[in-house]
Structure formats: structure tokens, C-alpha cells
């Protein structure tokens, strides 16, 4: 029988969130071998998709996991927005999560529960069990500051945020234009805004919030929140950046590797909108013409248009190449042959960004993709789509100045002429040189944060030691007692 400190981790069924929180978990148990983690995973649908299975099958032995019974969503509209599907799954999973936590705590005393920032209801469950409760926040400290101050903003601002004439002031952050606020804040009468506020209020139940960021990236915001801990703000732990080190195998990658290897260093613009982002058909056509007219070499991960601008990233279905390529302009593939590569649906992004031929990244500004670009020193074209991505884009372009942000027309479309302009500016222009230098500096800072005595490693090591010390007084961990 082995003495271990037992931590429960609660995830959400969003692939990008799963990737992030599992990278944190692997780092945690690597830093402290006396910590054992059990992951509790809400699910929807009849089966666990392959990309999720792969994430869990590669976990080390001191991380156990369980998938909760799938949530039945058949009463919801068939074409429901993926975000609402996730939200419904979260709410309906709370009783099962409560049961799982009670079982784990009774069989092997839990020291702490760490839950994804989208499922703050778990903080309440942990408090009922008198267990330390932490939230893992997979986005920016800037967004976290907004979340922690959203109730105060709600009380002090009477109008719709989108009608504000002046940028919004958030403690420790650059001023944010109302149009760049997260989606739920664009309609204060909507259900999404109510859910947003309720979830943010529950953050105050946390004993601490673990943020996938690092001190040199958001120092002003991190310190501003840490200074407010005496006012009731939970302890803030910047412990990132967490990015995947190894890409999942999706079959033969010879075509893209040959293409990358043929190109000069930093000559290719990589174009991808994350695990769930999609463009309208009109925008796909404008982007295609913009890339072609720019004359720059490109590598484009293409997905079909979708009315929501986002696909269900846990249920990715495959499209035949010829069906997917019909959304491109006539003759585009022939005209750009040798100058560009269009890959249907998916590509191993971490591996691609690490290739010496990549010189820029046209990115949706999801935080995983952003951190992956930072850790590889790749400058950005910031093209946000949904959720908090516009806020991330503002941080990258206006705050950190490591991105160029294209202008959209009155219909919300980035026109081909604008695409040509920003692509050339980033890849061969003077503006791009300055951005590249600043991104190289951030790359060094990110690497330093993760070194043995780096700021993020120190922070997580100290937290892990705190948990281990508490665990040594609670009893003995034994795998067989969990029935896992």
C-alpha cells in the first residue's frame, strides 16, 4: 500500500479544453511523483471519439480516468449550436460528477478538486465535501480578470456593452472595445449572459485559480489580480504555457512534410482556425483569392462552411477531398500548385508550427493555438471568430504587439485586398520584422517560465508541495479501492 496525495480533476467535453487541462495534469504528476490524479469526464453521444481516446490512452500510469455515462441530448434541437450542447451536457452531468467525487473521497480521501473553468459548479460540490477547490482556467489572465469583475461591471453599467462609446477598463488590462468582449456580453438580455455571470460568481468559491499563462506574458494583469487577493479574489497561479508536445497520429503525413521541407526558412504562412473554427463560403472564397494574390507560400487547413462558424470539435466527421474543395474558387488549386498546399479538415499543428519553414500563422486566436505560436516564436495574423477570441486578438495586436489584425467590412467579411495587405506586411514587410522580434522575445520568456527554476514551474511546484503535505495527513491511496 502506497501513500499518495489524491487529486480529482473534472473536465468538460470540449477538445481544446481537454488538451489543455490534461497537459497541466501530466506536468503536475511529473513534478511531484507523490500525486495521483483521477480525471472525471462528462460525455455526450453514444461513444467516445477517437481523438479523445488518444488523449487519455497516452496518459502516465499515475493518472486514472473515468468517462461518465453519456448525457442524453435527444430533446434538444438537432442543429443546436455546439456551445449550447456543451452547456447542456455540463448542467446534466452535475449529479454524476457529485456521485463520482463522493465515491472517490470515501474510498481514497481527496485533497483537492481541480475543475475546468467552464464548470464552476464543481467548486460548490468540493466545498460540500470540505475539499480544497481549484479552477483551471485555460485562457488568458485578461479574460479571467473580466470574469472576476463582471458582476461589478453589470451593476455599474446600465446600457448594452456593445453601445459603449469608450473602451472598457478592466483591472490590470489594456482597454477593450465593446465589440471585442466575449460573445455572452454582446446581449445582456440573453440566457448566455445570465449563465456567464452565474459562472463567474462561482469563481469566488475557489481556493485558487490556475491560469494557462505565464508571468512575462501578462505580468500587469497577474500582479493586479494577486494584489486584490485581500479583497476576496482567489489566489492566482500562472502556471503555463501548456501545449501538446506530440501530435496525434492521423495517418500518412508525407505530403505536407515534403511540401514543408522544400521551402525556405520562415517562408510559409500557416492558415488554420483551430479544432472547431469555420468560415462562411463567401469568406473562404475571399481568403483563397487573398492568399493567391499575395504571392506568398501558404499551408491552409480547410474546413467546410458552417452557419454557426464553429463545428462540434469532439465529433469531427471526415469529408471527401473533392466535396470539401468545391468551396474553393474555380481553378484555385491548379493556379496555386507548388505555391500553396490545402489540407482537408485537420493537420498536426504543433508539428507544423515547429517546422523551420513556417514564418507566420493566420490564426483564430484560440488560446491553445496562440500559446503554440508563442512557444515556437511564430508571428500572427489575428483572425478571431467566436467566444473570447476577439479579446485575445486585442491582447495580441494592441497589447503584446505580436499580431496584425485585418479589418472587416460592414458585412463582417475580410476582403481579399485586406488579406493581401496583412499577409505581405507580416511575411515580408517592415511591420512583420518588428512583430517577429517581439515574438522571439516572448518565445524565450515562455521557455524560461517552464525551466526547472522558471516562474511557472516554481509556482506549480509550490502548489503541488502544498497538496502533498496535506495529503500525507489524510491517509493512504490505493488504486484497487477505487474500482478503476
Contacts of 479 (CB under 8 A, 6+ apart): 64
Angle at 54 between CA 50 and CA 58, to 5 degrees: 165
C-beta atoms surrounding 469 within 10 Å: 11
pTM listed for this prediction: 0.94
| pLDDT of 217 | 98
Q: What pLDDT is attached to residue 459?
A: 98
Q: Among all chains, which residue has been given the C-alpha cell 483572425?
A: 383
Angstrom distance (rounded) from CA 359 to CA 21: 28
Supply the pLDDT for residue 108: 86
Determine the average pLDDT of the residues in 194-219: 98
The predicted structure's pLDDT at residue 2 = 58
User: Beta 235-238 vs 268-272: how paired, if at all?
Assistant: unpaired
Query: Nine-digit cell at 356?
Result: 523551420
Mean pLDDT throughout 306-335?
Answer: 75
The 3 state secondary structure assigned to 161-208 is: HHHCCCCECCCCCCCECHHHCCHHHHCCCCHHHHHHHHHHHHHHHCCE
pLDDT (0 to 100) of residue 471 = 81
Residue 375 grid coordinates: 512557444
Q: What is the pLDDT of residues 30-78, one digit of tens each?
A: 999 999 999 999 998 766 777 788 889 889 989 999 999 999 888 988 8
Q: At what angle do helices 416-427 and 281-294 cross, to 10 degrees?
A: 50
Return the pLDDT at 354: 95
Residues 267 and 297 sit within 8 Å (Cβ to Cβ): yes
Mean pLDDT of all residues in the chain? 91
Confidence of residue 135 (pLDDT cuts 50, 70, 90): very high
Predicted pLDDT of residue 253: 57
pLDDT, position 312: 61
Q: Is 396 exposed, middle or buried (0-12, 13-18, 19+ CB in 10 A)?
A: buried
Which residues belong to the active site? Answer: 17, 116
pLDDT band at 294 (very low <50, low <70, confident <90, very high): very high
pLDDT of residue 321: 62
The residues pairing with 137 across neighbouring beta strands, listed in sequence order, are: 211
**Amino acid 3: pLDDT:** 61
Domains of the chain: 5-240+451-476 (3.40.50.2000), 254-444 (3.40.50.2000)
pLDDT at 482: 35
Give percent above pLDDT 70 in the chain: 92
Q: What is the edge-to-edge ordering of all strands in the sheet holding 403-404?
A: 340-344, 297-302, 268-272, 358-363, 380-382, 403-404
d(C-alpha 238, C-alpha 246), whole Å: 23
Q: Is 94 exposed, middle or buried (0-12, 13-18, 19+ CB in 10 A)?
A: middle
- Residues 15, 313: contact at Cβ < 8 Å? yes
Amino acid at each position: 500500500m502506497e501513500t499518495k496525495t489524491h487529486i480529482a480533476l473534472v473536465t468538460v467535453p470540449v477538445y481544446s479544453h481537454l488538451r489543455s487541462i490534461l497537459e497541466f495534469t501530466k506536468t503536475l504528476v511529473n513534478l511531484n511523483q507523490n500525486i495521483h490524479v483521477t480525471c472525471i469526464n462528462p460525455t455526450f453521444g453514444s461513444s467516445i471519439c477517437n481523438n479523445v481516446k488518444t488523449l487519455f490512452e497516452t496518459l502516465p500510469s499515475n493518472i486514472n480516468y473515468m468517462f461518465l455515462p453519456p448525457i442524453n441530448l435527444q430533446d434538444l434541437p438537432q442543429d443546436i449550436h455546439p456551445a449550447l450542447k456543451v452547456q447542456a451536457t455540463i448542467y446534466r452531468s452535475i449529479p454524476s460528477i457529485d456521485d463520482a467525487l463522493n465515491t472517490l473521497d470515501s474510498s481514497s480521501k481527496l485533497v483537492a478538486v481541480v475543475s475546468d473553468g467552464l464548470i464552476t459548479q464543481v467548486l460548490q460540490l468540493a466545498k460540500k465535501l470540505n475539499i480544497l477547490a481549484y479552477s483551471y482556467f485555460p485562457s488568458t489572465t485578461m479574460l479571467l480578470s473580466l470574469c472576476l469583475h463582471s458582476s461589478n461591471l453589470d451593476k455599474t453599467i446600465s446600457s448594452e456593452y456593445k453601445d459603449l462609446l469608450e473602451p472598457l477598463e478592466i483591472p490590470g488590462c489594456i482597454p477593450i472595445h465593446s465589440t471585442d468582449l466575449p460573445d455572452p456580453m454582446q446581449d445582456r438580455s440573453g440566457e448566455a449572459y445570465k449563465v456567464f455571470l452565474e459562472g463567474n460568481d462561482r469563481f469566488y468559491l475557489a481556493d485558487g485559480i490556475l491560469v494557462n499563462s505565464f508571468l512575462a506574458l501578462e505580468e500587469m494583469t497577474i500582479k493586479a489580480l494577486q494584489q486584490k487577493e485581500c479583497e476576496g479574489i482567489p489566489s492566482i497561479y500562472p502556471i503555463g504555457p501548456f501545449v501538446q508536445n506530440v501530435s496525434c497520429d492521423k495517418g500518412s503525413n508525407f505530403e505536407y512534410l515534403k511540401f514543408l521541407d522544400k521551402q525556405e526558412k520562415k517562408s510559409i504562412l500557416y492558415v488554420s482556425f483551430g479544432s472547431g473554427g469555420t468560415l462562411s463560403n463567401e469568406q473562404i472564397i475571399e481568403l483563397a483569392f487573398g492568399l493567391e494574390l499575395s504571392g506568398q507560400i501558404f499551408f491552409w487547413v480547410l474546413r467546410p462552411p458552417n452557419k454557426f462558424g464553429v463545428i462540434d470539435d469532439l465529433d469531427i466527421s471526415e469529408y471527401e477531398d473533392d466535396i470539401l474543395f468545391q468551396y474553393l474558387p474555380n481553378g484555385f488549386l491548379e493556379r496555386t500548385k507548388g505555391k500553396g498546399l490545402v489540407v482537408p479538415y485537420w493537420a498536426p499543428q504543433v508539428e507544423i508550427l515547429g517546422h523551420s519553414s513556417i514564418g507566420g500563422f493566420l490564426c483564430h486566436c484560440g488560446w491553445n493555438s496562440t500559446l503554440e505560436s508563442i512557444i515556437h516564436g511564430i508571428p500572427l495574423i489575428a483572425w478571431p471568430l467566436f467566444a473570447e477570441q476577439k479579446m485575445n486578438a486585442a491582447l495580441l495586436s494592441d497589447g503584446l504587439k505580436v499580431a496584425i489584425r485585418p479589418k472587416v467590412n460592414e458585412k463582417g467579411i475580410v476582403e481579399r485586398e485586406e488579406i493581401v495587405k496583412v499577409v505581405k506586411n507580416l511575411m515580408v514587410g517592415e511591420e512583420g520584422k518588428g512583430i517577429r522580434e517581439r515574438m522571439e522575445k516572448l518565445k524565450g520568456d515562455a521557455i524560461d517560465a517552464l525551466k526547472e527554476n522558471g516562474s511557472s514551474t516554481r509556482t506549480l511546484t509550490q502548489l503541488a508541495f502544498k497538496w502533498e503535505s496535506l495529503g500525507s495527513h489524510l491517509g493512504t491511496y490505493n488504486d484497487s479501492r477505487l474500482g478503476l
